[in-house]
Amino acid sequence: MSFLRQFDPEITDLINKEYKRQVEGLELIASENVVAREVMEAMGTILTNKYAEGYPGKRYYGGCEFHDQIENIARDRLCRLFGAEHANVQPHSGSQANEAVYLSFLKPGDKILSQSLNNGGHLSHGDPANISGKYYNITSYGVDLESELLDYAEIEATARKVKPDLIVCGASAYPREIDFKAFAEIAEDVGARSMADIAHISGLCCTGLHNSPVGVTTYVTSTTHKTLRGPRGGVIMCGKEYANSIDKAVFPGLQGGPLMHVIAAKAVCFREALSNEYKEYAEQVVKNCKVLAATLIDEGFRLVTGGTDNHLCLLDLSEQGISGHQAEIALGRAGITVNKNTIPRQHLSPFETSGLRLGTPTITTRGMREEECKQVGVWISRVLHNVENAAVLAETKDEVTTFCLRYPLYPEIRE
């Protein structure tokens, strides 16, 4: 980073501090990952210099011949990865991919049935604070309060009553498999379209570790930066009959020029996700999460739904008498980054929360396996039993740092 260092030492210094934080700490945020250096390299290229409004073969600017090829490769690879008929790789984020689906056929005031934020859904699925909640008429479904699982019979009953125009499924904090076929059938039954947001689990869907909604629900959206391990961004997949309306909703409906450097990096990510090594990685993510969950249960903690089928688990801290907020701070002091999360039936505010969300995509990319995940679970337990004990937190941080340095991140970046 010598040019940047010379021109802007202030920003360089902060990037280096963040690098050190990432290298020395355990990142257990379920929506994060560590991209391959090839993905990062594609993002930092001259492609960022170009305007390419429009789509391949139909741009509003000259000089897009190489951009057309790059975007076509990205679209083709994504279609191959998921067996999709049509792909749009331009959404700048997962939220924008979702908004584009809504814009493609809904009018303000139309009805959406979606999972509530408090029960694991996402802001962009109709939360009142989000544009989706302001423009559309939202009815939410949650999870069964006993089993903490999606209750498809209940969702069907609500759908029959509400008669939504769109049913949204997919979640930010749900540790079990989602039955996309059940959602598609409910939607069909009530004359609605369906959208599956697989932002969190797309890496599991494309490798067969989770059922895939592609070809099942009307639309599928995803981010590219979570389990898929690509650059920050979004994508949409759908059948050919919806291709035109989706493309128009993304551009000119919602966005201007596509981020071509990010689209190139998405293409690199899709190439990686098509490989056998990536499939092994995704398998290991799930195995690691199961070991982390089992260790925490052995240590006396309760997990929402009693365990996990995917890359994340949700810890219920009610019995320990600490909030998710307190736990997040204590773990942060011990070098373990997590996020507090609402859980079903919680009594604390959404800022305090009674839960923690833990995910294994990042530590798996760093090469940690079952044995290491057991150790991570033991550290989490130790910290959560000692949230006020500065000496224990400091001692754990030392151990975590020494441990993490055995799993280097981009060693060539070290300054």
Name the binding residues for (6S)-5,6,7,8-tetrahydrofolate: 117, 121-123, 349-351
Structure tokens at 260: 């071509």
Residues 6+ apart with CB under 8 A from 296: 303, 313, 315, 377, 380, 381
Question: Active site includes 226?
Answer: yes
| Residue in 197, 247, 272, 316 annotated catalytic | 197
Write phi, then psi, for 56 (nearest 5 degrees): -50, 130
| Annotated catalytic residue 51 | yes
Question: Catalytic residue among 217, 221, 223, 308, which?
Answer: 223
What mask, x for binding ligand PLP by CB under 6 A, covers residues 211 to 250?
------------x----------x----------------
- Alpha helix segments (H runs only) across 55-130: 65-82, 94-105
Structure tokens at 199: 């932002």
- State which of positions 13-42 bind ligand PLP (CB under 6 A): 31
Task: Please state the φ and ψ torsions of residue 9, each to the nearest 5 degrees.
Answer: -60, -30
CA distance 112 to 165: 6
Q: Does 362 bind ligand PLP (CB under 6 A)?
A: no
Alpha carbon 295 to its chain centroid, in Å, reads 24
- In the chain the first and final C-alpha atoms are separated, in Å, by 9
Active site residue 287: no
Interface stretch with ligand PLP, choices 54-62, 165-173, 277-285, 395-403 (CB under 6 A): 165-173
What is the contact mask toward ligand PLP in residues 72 to 101, using x (rule: CB under 6 A)?
Answer: ---------------------xxx------
**Which of the 8 DSSP states describes residue 253?**
I
Catalytic residue among 5, 19, 51, 139: 51
Bridge partners (DSSP) listed for residue 178? none
Tell the smallest beta-carbon distance from residue 125 to ligand PLP (Å).
7
CA dist 298 and 304 (Å) reads: 15
- In degrees to the nearest 10, what's the CA dihedral of 203, 208, 210, 212? 90
Minimum Å distance from CB 117 to ligand PLP? 10
75, 77, 111, 200: which one binds ligand PLP (CB under 6 A):
200
Contacts with ligand PLP, 111-130, as mask; x by CB under 6 A: -----------x-x------
Whether 223 is catalytic is yes
Whether residue 175 has a cis bond before it, omega within 30° of 0? no
- Please give the residue whose beta carbon sits closest to ligand PLP in the complex: 94
Size of the site for ligand PLP (CB under 6 A): 14
Mark whether 17 is an active-site residue.
no
> Which residues are tagged catalytic?
51, 53, 197, 223, 226, 232
Q: Interface residues with ligand PLP (CB under 6 A)?
A: 31, 93-95, 122, 124, 170-172, 197, 199-200, 223, 234
